Amino acid sequence: MLIARRADTRARADFATWKMMAKLNGLSALPSEAQNFLATYKKLLEQMGDAEATETTINLVYKSYYEEMGGAGTPPEVPSRQNEPVAGNVTAFRRPTAKPKKSAPSDAAAAGSSEKPRLPVALIFACLCVVYVAIRYFWG
């Protein structure tokens, strides 16, 4: 089944790439195998709709890749990707799950966590002024 998934993923990616190259007039740069699959796709477009022709061609490419990758016998059916929202050949973006928010620094210090509380800028500035005055007083 691992070979089947890899072959299916590769077939879908390659076909989308080939189709885009054909739209951009780069058909001559494709390998002859890709050109043959695109010719088959164009013939299927005359008989059926775009979605069906695309799936049929991807299945042909998948079977070819399955055999090429060392799969024996008839290629198994790969689970359909009907659950994924798709626009053309692009899968829709899914937001990652929300991460828990970090607590405020004062809450973290009160809870006894290992996080160091940050010193305010004014306190740092005051310490630098004290050091400066002390140096001027003792050396001056």
Number of helices (H) and strands (E) in the chain: give both, helices first.
5, 2
Q: Which residues contact 102 (CB under 8 A, 6 or more apart)?
A: 108
Question: What pLDDT does 132 receive?
Answer: 92
Indicate the Cα dihedral angle 43, 48, 52, 55, nearest 10°. -10
Question: What pLDDT does 121 receive?
Answer: 85
Question: What pLDDT does 15 receive?
Answer: 87
Question: What pLDDT does 130 receive?
Answer: 93
> Which pLDDT tens digits describe the chain residue by residue (140 residues)?
777 788 888 888 888 888 888 888 777 788 888 888 888 888 888 888 888 888 888 888 888 888 878 777 666 676 655 444 444 556 666 777 777 776 655 555 555 556 666 778 888 899 999 999 999 988 86
Both structure tokens of 75: 């290629």
What gap in Å lies between CA 130 and CA 136, rounded to an integer? 10
Question: What pLDDT does 80 receive?
Answer: 57
What is the pTM assigned to this prediction? 0.53
Question: What pLDDT does 11 receive?
Answer: 85
Question: What pLDDT does 12 receive?
Answer: 87
Q: Do 19 and 25 contact (CB within 8 A), yes or no?
A: no
Both structure tokens of 139: 């050396």
What gap in Å lies between CA 26 and CA 48, rounded to an integer? 25
